[in-house]
Structure 1
Amino acid sequence: MSGTNSRLLNAIFSVTRPSLRTSRCRQRQGTKQARRLINTKPRSGTNADDPDFVSIVDAPPQIISTKKKHNKLGITVLALIPITAFVLGSWQVQRLDWKTKLIAKFEDRLVRPPLPLPPRIDPSVIDEFDYRRIRATGRYRHDREMLVGPRMHDGKDGYFVITPLEREGGSTILVNRGWVSKDQRFQQDRDPTSLPRHEITVSGLLREPWKKNMFTPNNAPEQGKFYFPDVAQMASHSGSEPIWIEETMTPSLLESYRREEKGIPIGRAPEVNLRNNHVQYIVTWYSLSAATALMLWMVLKKKPSNIAHRVRTSKEW
């Protein structure tokens, strides 16, 4: 009986020993952590006995706004766009008025009867007779012919034929006879009727000298290449006066086909061909001004995001 009791007690002690050991280990670890907390040096202002101690009550949370303001540079640029577009639109209104009056003045000159060209002409007064219909009699100097181009006509490549007109008892002037195709730019490739040798009367428009744009290359008179009609340069090259006449013809499709077939220069129609696109520019600039002004209004109307956060101002918490 005593042997049985001893075996039972040994079994009980063998089962409970691990739990006792575990509880002892936990007690030892808790003691070590407590010692560490006791030995740790408190931070400044965290001990109630410290005169620099700041409590949470002494530093209550504050509402700090993180409002995102509009970008001043972007608003300035956006505000300049409608103003600039409005100014440009107003300028185009003035240009439209100027161009309309100019076209009306030229059209009034076109309806007047042709004016016989005087023997001597002052080039400085050409501006007062621009688009004036004139008549001039003389003989063409085909040996001094010049080609200006290339120029397009009805989708075809060609050249303007410029021939000096020598007037008896008067000055020699430059006549733009019209357009010929590229295949007939040389005189030997044209019909003989395209090179009149007798005295003729030319009907055309007295025009101001042309102005060269920045994309047109310079002429090379010594090589016989003229990319734009520089009246003064061409007059000096051909021994003529700087007077520019554009020969006109009645618009006719059949007549144009006949002239193109024989190589006879196709003259221009007696009409004002100034471009007047200012109405389109006015609509474009004012539309841009209105659209950008609406965008600016929408941006300013929309309030910036205003997100508020509750934060602690204490450095220690």
Structure 2
Amino acid sequence: MPEPRPDYRFARRPWWILSHLFAAGMVVLMVNLGFWQLRRLDERRTHNALIESRQDLPPAPLGELLPAGPASSPEEVAEVAYRMVVLRGRYALDEQVLVRNRTSEGLPGYWVVTPLVLDDGTAVAVNRGWVPFASTDPEGPWPQYDPPAASVTVTGMVQEPQVRAGGLVGGPVDAPEGRLWTLSRVDVGRLAQQVAQPMWPLYVNLASQEPAQGELPQPVPPPDLSEGPHLGYAGQWFVFAGLTVIVYPLLLRRVARHRGREAVEA
């Protein structure tokens, strides 16, 4: 007995039309997500190239990079982000803070941020590195992490200050007034409220220091210059889109054959 002809009349019913539209919409969505991940990959590569080009330049005094000093604009700071700089001055121990919820190799802890008072009387927030969560009381001061009291020379990487993203629901908020021992992020503007000296609108991730500090804090590693998972995610979305294009027609054909056999039997 020959195989009955497939019956596709079911595919014109309203529910199935919605199913076709849904499948087509999912294919369009997945293809767009794939191209979005490729755009993210291009952005990541461009950003990595920018970081590499800047951090490979020789360290320079901060005043040469930002002649306006503490009055520098956010745009001017962005132009020198990731540049290596050399700072000379004395740490203001009484104004040291911890930045909460920072990890190192999966372990929870803090960043130790200490204002460095330069020879001209201005101050730069220096992220001296990470300390483990269990090793310190969040209410300072913390004499076990005190840097040298004498003048120091710090080499580090310029970073733009961290601010709370607008509209972030449920994100941590620091008290707007009073002396804070810990901060949610390296918010230089908030730190400046409790520092006596004029502060530069940036912070510096310490890379090395003379005289050197102890084993703790551990300096924060340089930025991750990997390409991330974007290429893999793009490939997954394209594969999902291709499978939908192949599998959905096969599903329709299977249902049509089943309907055709039912019609012959009837």
Q: Please report the TM-score for the alignment, with normalisation by the length of structure 1.
A: 0.65
1:98 equivalent to 2:57? Answer: no
Tell me how far apart the structure 1 counterparts of residues 81 and 117 of structure 2 sit (CA, whole Å).
21
Partner AA of 1:243 in structure 2: L
What is the CA RMSD across the aligned residues, in angstroms? 2.9
Q: Structure 2: which 5+ runs fail to align?
A: 1-6
Tell me how far apart the structure 1 counterparts of residues 95 and 206 of structure 2 sit (CA, whole Å).
17
* Structure 2 counterparts to residues 20-35 of structure 1, below 5 A: none
Correspondence for 1:69: 11
Correspondence for 1:132: 83
Residues 82 and 289 of structure 1 are in contact (CA less than 8 Å); yes or no, is this contact kept in structure 2? yes
1:227 equivalent to 2:178? Answer: no
Correspondence for 2:205: 246
* Residue in structure 1 matching 2:144, options 190, 208, 214: 190
Residues 107 and 272 of structure 1 are in contact (CA less than 8 Å); yes or no, is this contact kept in structure 2? no
Task: Please state how far the C-alpha of 1:289 moved relative to its aligned partner.
Answer: 1.2
1:189-246 CA distances to partner (integer Å, 9 max, x unpaired)? 516xx43111111110001222546453112363433122222222233242322111
Structure 1 or 2: larger strand share? 2
1:293 equivalent to 2:245? Answer: yes
Tell me how far apart the structure 2 counterparts of residues 277 and 66 of structure 1 sit (CA, whole Å).
42
Residues 109 and 131 of structure 2 are in contact (CA less than 8 Å); yes or no, is this contact kept in structure 1? yes
SS at match of 1:196: coil
Counting aligned pairs with the same residue, the percent is 26
Partner AA of 1:199 in structure 2: S
SS at match of 1:237: coil
Partner AA of 1:232 in structure 2: G
Distance 1:288 1:77, change over 3 A: same
* Structure 2 counterparts to residues 1-317 of structure 1, below 5 A: 67-69=9-11, 71-118=16-63, 120-121=68-69, 122-124=72-74, 125-182=76-133, 183-185=135-137, 186-188=140-142, 190=144, 194-212=146-164, 214=168, 216-220=171-175, 222=178, 223-239=180-196, 240-249=199-208, 259=215, 264-269=216-221, 271-273=222-224, 276-302=228-254, 304=256, 305-306=259-260, 307-308=262-263
Tell me how far apart the structure 1 counterparts of residues 130 and 250 of structure 2 sit (CA, whole Å).
56
Tell me how far apart the structure 1 counterparts of residues 131 and 143 of structure 2 sit (CA, whole Å).
11
Greater radius of gyration (CA): 1
1:43-102 CA distances to partner (integer Å, 9 max, x unpaired)? xxxxxxxxxxxxxxxxxxxxxx99533511111101111111001111211221121021
Q: Structure 1: which 5+ runs fail to align?
A: 1-64, 312-317
1:235-266 CA distances to partner (integer Å, 9 max, x unpaired)? 2332423221111149xxxx99x61xxxx311
Partner AA of 2:156 in structure 1: G
Task: Please state how far the C-alpha of 1:310 moved relative to its aligned partner.
Answer: 11
Partner AA of 1:177 in structure 2: R
Tell me how far apart the structure 1 counterparts of residues 80 and 191 of structure 2 sit (CA, whole Å).
21
Distance 1:298 1:235, change over 3 A: farther
Partner AA of 2:128 in structure 1: R
Which structure's relative contact order is higher, taking Cα pairs within 8 Å and 6+ residues apart? 2
Distance 1:159 1:236, change over 3 A: same
Task: Please state how far the C-alpha of 1:303 moved relative to its aligned partner.
Answer: 6.1
SS at match of 1:202: strand
Tell me how far apart the structure 1 counterparts of residues 250 and 265 of structure 2 sit (CA, whole Å).
31
SS at match of 2:108: strand
Tell me how far apart the structure 1 counterparts of residues 9 and 152 of structure 2 sit (CA, whole Å).
86
Correspondence for 2:4: none
Residues 216 and 228 of structure 1 are in contact (CA less than 8 Å); yes or no, is this contact kept in structure 2? no
Residues 206 and 246 of structure 1 are in contact (CA less than 8 Å); yes or no, is this contact kept in structure 2? yes
SS at match of 1:68: helix
SS at match of 2:49: helix
